Amino acid sequence: MLYTPVLTYTILIFNCLLGGGNCPDSGDARSHKVQNLNILKNRHTPPTSNDIVNSVTIDSLLNSKDNPTAFDESKAISIEGYIIKAKEEKSESCNCHSKDPNDWDYHLYFAPTSYQKKISETVVIEITPYSRKLHPEYTFQYIQSIIGKKVKITGWLMYDFEHTNVSQQFNPEAKKIYRKTVWEIHPITSIQLMD
């Protein structure tokens, strides 16, 4: 389990909320569990070849049954597929509820085929401010321009337990389903056009 010293966290979050400093990687969450999740969301190192697990595919993510131990969150993957939809996130705990769009993530729906139209059959992948620092060309307009094109995505594995209520695998009877699994690629560190 990741550890954030309480005193350091308290000082950083105090600065963040007063506008006296940057938002810490743990965001402004009160729960230690969500703080640790935010640290994963806000990773700011690209994976090395040793971090990438070749055995994890888009199909294994889609068929994970939302098992939290199915994959290793300290690992990254490179998989091919299609972005079928994109939306800009807003303020959330991982960005200290910032009102600045530069601090927001891009939430992308990733599918194994270009003709997949149901977001309930997709994996969520996210471009974070760190992703855009690595790749300033990853504007929202650019992402919209590659919807439906085959791409290879590289990024970190993450189990986003905050969305089990809208996951087809975890909660198939939900009235609103916004993903097939809570396993994500978050953050994305590379998008390579394959077509």
1-50 confidence digits (pLDDT tens): 444 444 334 334 433 443 334 899 999 999 999 999 999 999 999 999 99
User: Which residues form the domain of 13?
Assistant: 6-41
Asked whether residue 51 is domain-assigned, the answer is no
Q: What is the pLDDT of residues 98-140, one digit of tens each?
A: 999 999 999 999 999 999 889 999 999 999 999 999 999 999 9
Do 116 and 188 lie in a common domain?
yes
Number of domains in the chain: 2
Which tops the pLDDT comparison, 168 or 151? 151
Asked whether residue 53 is domain-assigned, the answer is no
Angular region, 27: left φ>0, alpha ψ -120 to 50, beta rest: left
